A and B are shown apart, each in its own frame.
Chain A
């Protein structure tokens, strides 16, 4: 799923300038290859959301503590967010897996990832030492145990996948395609 995306990022501007409508790239981006790439992107993002959601469902108190550790939300919001977030992730996983409302699900995914990146960046900037709690766990860790850069890079990569799906939501094996057939 990353290969076509990388190619697009690398060659996109140069290739589209001379022949915007009829270029080979254009055709590739509209063709079956792109639709399959979108399918792969959907499934990949769905897998990540499933993993992230399931890891947080088991222990509600832990999920709440992971949210609390960011010290961004008032106590009254800590539990609703901690309890609800894994289900939001699972709902997005379900939609992406089924390919239903792919563009909307991708927009929500991208928004959520932006919130995560901003949250981790804020924690980093404030000098807190926490585990992001992205895939379960969370809360305070030793300063040497923080992985802010990796976490932000990972979320940025996922954000690119979501952005691809916002741009090219049409994919094979999707409920959207079936509804439109």
Chain B
């Protein structure tokens, strides 16, 4: 503008004025484009994040699952109990099916833990978590946890749980991403490999429950498995200054139970000789150890004394239950 005032005569100033106008027009257009671009950036980001949050909220499994395996306990039915419901002590166990440290724990303490259950001294509350799938990627933990829930439905949680740990693959391999592998392991538990169990495993019936159990663990503040608590106090790998050993664990339980009446675990005699149907509804009421040793599919099978039927690693199929058939 100043320039055009200084040289107001001639074509030159007119040309300059024109150029200046064009320049101003271009500037306006550029500003407009800039605003449109900036607006699109904001819009793309906002829409993506908004839609994303909405979709993920809907996709993420509800924290209170619709379907929980029969006999699950706890306010959100996330816990599978094993042992006498009225046992004086509670052993809380957080385990991941793919976790090698859990396998070591199981190898060393399963006989002791199972004995304590069968003596009515403890009820074990199992939280079957599945975070190894996140760390090592894969789906074996989730599939395994779902299969364990299916086994709980069939009243064979303990036996199948022990078979899985006895046959656990190396952590970084993930053969249990194939559900068929879990079903063939179920063949080692007499009476477990039924069409209902297969449908439950293949259909991922308790997928929502598995996710809810894991989310519960996420928020628990515990960060590794196995996490083992006796009456709420951590006992693994040590309690106070003492390392856990089978003898120590027994002593700790006995000390905690001093003066208390023991629970009433299922006795072999009390087990019905004729198996009930394998449908979850038929077993929804019971939740003591008895359920886990009750034959579900074969009326001829007689449940052996639980303590007499520890499943040897790698040889689970050839243990007592099979021989009674």
Interface residues of A (CB under 8 A from B): 57, 59-65, 68, 75, 79-80, 82-84, 86-88, 90-92, 94-95, 100-101, 104-105, 108, 131, 136-142, 176, 179-180
Q: How many Å lie between the Cα of A61 and that of B62 in the bound state? A: 10
Tell me if A140 and B44 are in contact (CB < 8 A): no
Question: Does B104 sit at the interface, judged by CB under 8 A?
Answer: no
Q: A59-B134, A60-B59, A90-B48 are in contact. Are A101 and B214 (CB under 8 A)?
A: no
Tell me if B52 and A83 are in contact (CB < 8 A): yes
Q: Which of B45, B48, B134 contacts A62 (CB 8 A)?
A: B134
Q: Which of B38, B48, B51, B223 contacts A101 (CB 8 A)?
A: B38
**For chain A, what secondary structure do more than half of its interface residues adopt (helix, strand, loop), or is it mixed?**
helix
Q: How many Å lie between the Cα of A139 and that of B223 in the bound state? A: 8
Instruction: Give the shortest distance, in Å, between A110 (CB) and chain B (any CB).
Output: 14
Question: Does B12 sit at the interface, judged by CB under 8 A?
Answer: no
Tell me if B218 and A100 are in contact (CB < 8 A): no
Q: Which of A64, A91, A136, A139 contacts B49 (CB 8 A)?
A: A91
Tell me if A84 and B135 are in contact (CB < 8 A): no
Give B45-63 as 1s and 0s: 1 = Cβ < 8 Å from A's Cβ atoms: 1011101110011011100
Question: Does B199 sit at the interface, judged by CB under 8 A?
Answer: no
Q: A59-B134, A140-B224, A176-B37 are in contact. Are A84 and B45 (CB under 8 A)?
A: no
Tell me if A61 and B211 are in contact (CB < 8 A): yes
Tell me if A101 and B40 are in contact (CB < 8 A): yes
**CB < 8 Å A-B pair total:** 96
Tell me if B60 and A87 are in contact (CB < 8 A): no
Q: Which of A86, A137, A176 contacts B134 (CB 8 A)?
A: A137
Q: How many Å lie between the Cα of A108 and that of B223 in the bound state? A: 33
Residue contacts A-B, CB under 8 angstroms, 6 given: A60-B56, A60-B60, A61-B215, A62-B134, A65-B215, A105-B41
Q: A68-B218, A138-B134, A176-B37 are in contact. Are A88 and B57 (CB under 8 A)?
A: no
Question: Does B260 sit at the interface, judged by CB under 8 A?
Answer: no
Interface residues of B (CB under 8 A from A): 30, 33, 37-38, 40-42, 44-45, 47-49, 51-53, 56-57, 59-61, 131, 134-135, 137, 211, 214-215, 218-219, 223-224
- List residues of chain B with CB within 8 A of the CB of A137: 134-135, 137
- List residues of chain A with CB within 8 A of the CB of B215: 61, 65
- Select from chain B the residue with minimum beta-carbon distance to A104: B41
Tell me if B60 and A131 are in contact (CB < 8 A): no
Tell me if B38 and A84 are in contact (CB < 8 A): no
Tell me if A141 and B48 are in contact (CB < 8 A): no
Instruction: Give the shortest distance, in Å, between B208 (CB) and chain A (any CB).
Output: 11
Instruction: Give the shortest distance, in Å, between B141 (CB) and chain A (any CB).
Output: 12
Q: How many Å lie between the Cα of A65 and that of B216 in the bound state? A: 11
Instruction: Give the shortest distance, in Å, between A13 (CB) and chain B (any CB).
Output: 31
Q: How many Å lie between the Cα of A137 and that of B137 in the bound state? A: 8
Tell me if B53 and A101 are in contact (CB < 8 A): no
Q: Which of B30, B38, B53, B214 contacts A80 (CB 8 A)?
A: B53
Q: How many Å lie between the Cα of A62 and that of B49 in the bound state? A: 17
Q: How many Å lie between the Cα of A140 and that of B129 in the bound state? A: 14
- List residues of chain A with CB within 8 A of the CB of B56: 57, 60, 63, 82-84
- List residues of chain A with CB within 8 A of the CB of B134: 59, 62, 65, 136-139
- List residues of chain A with CB within 8 A of the CB of B37: 100-101, 104, 176, 179
Q: Which of A88, A95, A140 contacts B223 (CB 8 A)?
A: A140
Tell me if A65 and B57 are in contact (CB < 8 A): no
Beyond the given A68-B219, A139-B134, please list 9 additional residue pairs across the A-B interface where CB-CB is below 8 A.
A59-B134, A62-B134, A64-B218, A90-B48, A104-B38, A104-B42, A136-B134, A137-B137, A139-B135
Tell me if A139 and B218 are in contact (CB < 8 A): yes
Q: How many Å lie between the Cα of A78 and that of B219 in the bound state? A: 11
Q: How many Å lie between the Cα of A131 and that of B211 in the bound state? A: 20
